[in-house]
Structure 1
Amino acid sequence: MSTIDEYSPNFCFPVKDLESERVKLTPFLPPKHAEELYKIPLPSFDYLPFGPYETPADFVEGLVEGRIHPDPGCTLFAVYDKTKASETGHPGGAFAGTIGFCNSSAQNLVVEIAFVLISPKFQRTHVTSNAIGLLLHYALDLPEKGGLGLRRVVWQASPLNVPSVGAAERMGFRREGLLRWHYVLSEVKHIGNGRDTRSGDPKAKLLGRDTVVLSVCWDDWDDGAWKKVDEVMERRC
């Protein structure tokens, strides 16, 4: 595993700390954050095309170093709930999970929000909305406002993962369509798309997953989507 001094994000866009009044995102450093992640209750991996991972080392080897770090289209952030600073005694707050980007393209000015692993302890609070909002602002705000000035931010989820789709829609993402049979899932996955494979399928014992595609684009953003995002981030209940 890399040391903190050796580790740097291999991402096609600049990576930096992102912060709101109540949440902070900081680049995920395996030697620092992997152990923290496994000290909190992890969310279910049932609807995700990756995982689960039994140990911090498995998480780093399988997801961080196995998929995210080698791919310049991916990066990962650690999520902190700043409102828990006094409760935890940690000035940065409480570690709440991860969020990141994938399928990013500097050429096409697009990113996808992914790797959303917010602990059940912090779900149905301000944490997820603020984490998503920070990434939306960073992606879609113009450079003069500290953003990347991108054209498109994508969200993808299983249509059976109602909370994930709902979280995206609350943050202003608009449904674009359904990718049928998008993923062949691993043998440890027990929730697919509810449909059988055909006779003779070379991976007949592995379930398939459909994917709902949603997006927020620059014109949505300029037409007022950013106001909706800010309102959701500021809610106190």
Structure 2
Amino acid sequence: MSTNTSGTFPLPQDLENDRIKLVPYIPSFHSEVFAELSKKYPETYKYIPWGHSEVQAAFDSETFLREHKWLLFAILDKTRPPSDHLVGSDGALAGTIAFIDCDPRNLSAELGAVLIFPPFQRTHVASNAVGLMLQYALNRPSEGGLGLRRVVWLANRLNEGSIRLAKRFRFQQEGVLRWHMYLEGGPAGNGKLLREEDPKPGCPGRDTALFSLCWDDWEGGGAKENSATVMLRIN
């Protein structure tokens, strides 16, 4: 089975603890189940600028992942059995998570594509996935990490769950990007109302809350200790 080599940071074979495992997202292996879950739970995409068909196309495109410098992982919940189409995997497909816009020159990346399907929301999945990714990003190389200086988190300003999760890991809010994106269809309650004659009717606007977690926050502000509860193992 080939691995995702689309990004510009070293990609571990997997990151895991006793409850979840993050493995490189492999379209030929994960996409069928991911597509089924996306169609079954369209509310997963409520606050993001893409619909599930666009996300599926992006995740299936090595060209997209490479050009946008993504390191994309599938999240496996080890506490639940794998789906029929994922026989041999270490758990049920719970969602995805990624390093986006990897920038090795400035030692930074965005933590994004955090898509958790409803049966796995409000469980251990999201916090463990984020904790594992942050440890890999911000721990020193001697600790098995990349030693990055900065990790960015962007959230729809109305997405209270995403903002709450960022704050739990001590991300610091730097500001709000007003009318930053448009949302592909969906009710206006997911974003901002439009004026008459807007060129994108039916696509609400999105204010984006901008957060960051930097190495000095990580080592000096308690974030590393919070994340340590997820017990990282890098293979």
**TM superposition score category, shorter chain reference:** 0.7 to 0.9
Number of equivalences: 223
> Following superposition of structure 1 onto structure 2, how do residues 1-237 of structure 1 map, counting pairs within 5 Å?
4-5=1-2, 8-16=4-12, 17-40=14-37, 41-42=40-41, 43-53=43-53, 59-65=55-61, 68-85=64-81, 92-186=90-184, 188-191=185-188, 192-197=190-195, 201-203=198-200, 206-223=203-220, 224-231=222-229, 233=230
Shift of 1:69: 1.7
3-state SS of paired residue (2:224): helix
Alpha-carbon offset, residue 126 of structure 1: 0.9
How far 1:64 moved relative to its partner?
A: 3.8
Q: Percent identity?
A: 40
- Secondary structure in 2 aligned to 1:44? helix
Q: Secondary structure at the match of 2:45?
A: coil
Local SS of the residue matching 1:12: coil
Q: 1:35-85: per-residue Cα shift (whole Å, max 9, x none)?
A: 1223445452121011222xxxx6542444187423252121010111225
Matched to 2:186, the amino acid is K
- Contact 1:85–1:93 (CA<8 Å) still a contact in 2? yes
Check whether the contact 2:58–2:64 (CA below 8 A) recurs between aligned residues: no
CA RMSD of aligned residues (A): 2.6
TM-score by length of structure 2 reads: 0.84
Any gaps of 5 or more consecutive residues in structure 1? none
Structure 1 CA distance, aligned partners of 2:62 and 2:88? 30
- Secondary structure in 2 matching 1:38: helix
Going from structure 1 to structure 2, the CA distance change for 1:193 and 1:61 (only over 3 Å counts) comes to: closer
Structure 2, gaps ≥5 residues long: none
Shift, 1:20, TM fit? 1.5
Q: Look up the SS of the partner of 1:121 in the other structure.
A: helix
Structure 1 residues 163, 99: CA separation in 2 closer, same or farther (over 3 Å shift)?
same
Pairwise CA distance, 1:160: 0.7
Alpha-carbon distance in 2 for matches of 1:98, 1:148: 20
